[in-house]
Each structure stands twice: as C-alpha cells, then as structure tokens.
Amino acid sequence: MKKNFLILFAIALFPLSLLAQKVPNKQLNPLLTGVPSLTITPDSRGGGMGDVGAATTPDINSQFWNPAKYAFMESPAGLSLSYTPWLRRLVNDISLSYLSGYWKFNETSSVSTSLRYFSLGEIKMYGRTPGEDMGTARPNELAFDVGYSMLLSEKISAAVALRYIRSDMNVKTEGSDMVPGNAIAADVATYYRTPIEMATGDANLAFGLNISNIGSKISYDNNLNSMFIPTNLRLGGSFEYPFDDYNKISINADVNKLLVPSSQLPMEGESDEDFMNRQKEAMNVGPIAGIFKSFGDAPGGFAEEMQEIMWSLGAEYTYNNQFFVRAGYFNEHELKGNRKFFSTGVGFKLNVFQLDAAYLISVAQSNPLDGTLRFTLGFDLDGLRNLMQ
C-alpha cells in the first residue's frame, strides 16, 4: 500500500495526533512517549471490558495487565494468540499481534512470557525530487518479556517482569540519521484476592497494582535525542458475584496514569526558541526522576494532573464457565487524547481452547479507533496434553 512518508510520524503518535480533538478556549497537552504501541490492549477479554484487567480473574493474557495474577491460575500451563487490525478507518495494513503464555512449575510459583509485534504496514518513500522513488519502508515495533510470579500468602501474590523493546521506523532516506531504537524495561506487580461467603456461593473481591515499562529512554538518532517509554501505573479492583452454580457476574474498574513528565505549554510573550529550550530542559531528566516528576509537573497544576488519569469500567457475565458476555467503557480527558469509547465482547470456552472477540464503539466523533475488532485464541496446554494421550 502506497502512502506518503509523513504519514509514518502521524501513525507513530496515534494516541496524540489522531485521537486528540481541539476544544474551544482550551489547549491540548497530551503526554508524549516513544513506542506508544506498548499501551495498546492486546487481548479480546480486556478489550471487551473497556480495557480493564489489573484485578480481573486471572487468565492467559495476564502478562499485559498484571503478571502477579498467574500465581492464582488453576491450570498449570496455557498459551494464547491475539490479533488486532489497527486504525482500519484510516489504513488497512496496520496490526498488532500478541503471543503470551505461562507455566506453573509448582503450587506457588509461575513463569510467564509474551511477544508483541506491531506492524505499521508498508510506506512508500519519496526523495526531494518530485516523483523520486526511494523504495518502501516497513516500520514496526516489538517487545519481548519474561515474568516471574509467586504467592506470598493464600491471598497475595507478587511478580516482576523484564522486557526488551525495539522500535524500527525502517526509514532510509537521503540525509536521514534515523536508526532503530532499543530499550529495556521492567514491571512490578501485586495482586490480592479474597473469597467472601455469600448465600449463593463464594464471591471474590480482588485488587491489583501493576507499574509497567520502568526502564531506559529510547532514541532513534544514536542518543542525540531520546524519548520516555510509556511507563504506566495501573490500579484496579474487581468483585465477582455468583448468582448460582452456573451464573456469575464480575464488576471491574481500572485507573491508569502515565508516569512520564508533562509537556510544557508556551507562555504569553515567550519566543519559540525560549519555549523549545524550556521544553527540552523539562524533559532532560532520567527515567526514574521522570516517574516522580510526573506527579507534579503539569503546567495547569493539580487540576491538569487529574486530567492525566484515565479510567475504565467493565463487566463480564459467565455461564457455566463456558460462555462469556462482556461490556465496558474507557475514558480519557479531552485535552489528553480524548479516547472515549464503549466496548463489548463475547467468549466461548471448552476444555482445551477458548475463543474471544471484542468490538470497540467510539463516543468521540471522528475517532479512528471506532469499529476496532480483536480476536484471541487461547489453549489450556494441560488439557491439550491429556486429550492427545
């Protein structure tokens, strides 16, 4: 598919340049990070519930949401593959593929892993001379991680994950010094779940915390300039209530905050050069210092800091642990990206595999994410082994 080279940068900053909309008498000030694809929900279950997952019941795709949940998995091993066509309202060859799995090697400990590959499609390159063909580029971003989770008690677990990140814009043009960006990062997570005795059976109350992508900055010009990766704080709660032996429902909620410094805004009478120098100085801090700075550096003070918090609500109805119906809502402030959408999803589970799908319905007008579909196929490896024996 042929596209102009400039589209590459619009897509690379899709949460900002494509989703944010202008609001009269107010200034847009979204948080800027490199490798924004790391924030995309990869699986259909979380995507069908408004992008929640910090405290939902554990599943194979917990690596993205909260790897500490793996310690509570009942099956000893699982593997899942997810696929999401991305920005289909704009182009037809951008997609996210996600592979995740885990293995419980004893009653208290698990190892987990995931691989995500975000393809930005094929982009036609042109030189400075009109009509000059410079070939094609296939920009992509990938991340590979390995996690370890452990039960600390009957109700609490903790986890760490290490991640390698590579972002290759694949741009080779005259005078371009752009090189692939590399970064390393870590997640730290905890999960708490306790049963509550009810007349209809045991309900479950859960809370989860995951601080993800704590790591180095990423650079595309041999460290002349660098960007923060999307370090994120995710906090969630969940309540699962059984109506009887076959029917139950869970209500879930997450809040998220990117732990990166806020972009500065031009001041009245300030020259462009002075503004650029002030912006550069504000971003010239290390990753750990940037995390602490992110809680109090918004130009609009506390009110703007609160605008940087995203929240989501989701519900899941389950029948006989085999059929699932999901719905949710995600909200991001209009000045920070304006992602506001409902989502819905369904799932079907047998002893060996589970198939899930999700669909996104945008609330904000002209949102290119509207109509996004997700598909996930999961396998219970222990059940598959028993089936083959």
What residue ranges do the domains of the chain occupy?
7-388
Question: Which backbone phi and psi does 233 adopt, to 5 degrees?
Answer: -105, 120
DSSP state of 284: -
Query: 43 or 5: whose pLDDT is higher?
Result: 43
**CB-count exposure of residue 271 (10 Å: 0-12, 13-18, 19+):** exposed
Lowest mean pLDDT among 234-248, 318-332, 355-369: 355-369
Q: What is the pLDDT of residues 188-201, one digit of tens each?
A: 999 999 999 998 88
pLDDT at 251: 98
pLDDT at 243: 95
Q: Strand, helix or coil at 104? A: strand
Query: 58 or 9: whose pLDDT is higher?
Result: 58
Which fold would CATH assign to domain 7-388?
A: Porin (2.40.160)
Query: 319 or 127: whose pLDDT is higher?
Result: 319
pTM summary value: 0.88
Instruction: Report whether 1 contacts 122 (CB < 8 A).
Output: yes
Q: Strand, helix or coil at 278? A: helix
Question: Which backbone phi and psi does 68 adopt, to 5 degrees?
Answer: -65, -20
**Range ranked top by mean pLDDT from 21-30, 96-105, 380-389:** 96-105
Instruction: Report whether 347 contacts 45 (CB < 8 A).
Output: yes
Mean model confidence pLDDT for the chain: 88
Query: 30 or 161: whose pLDDT is higher?
Result: 161
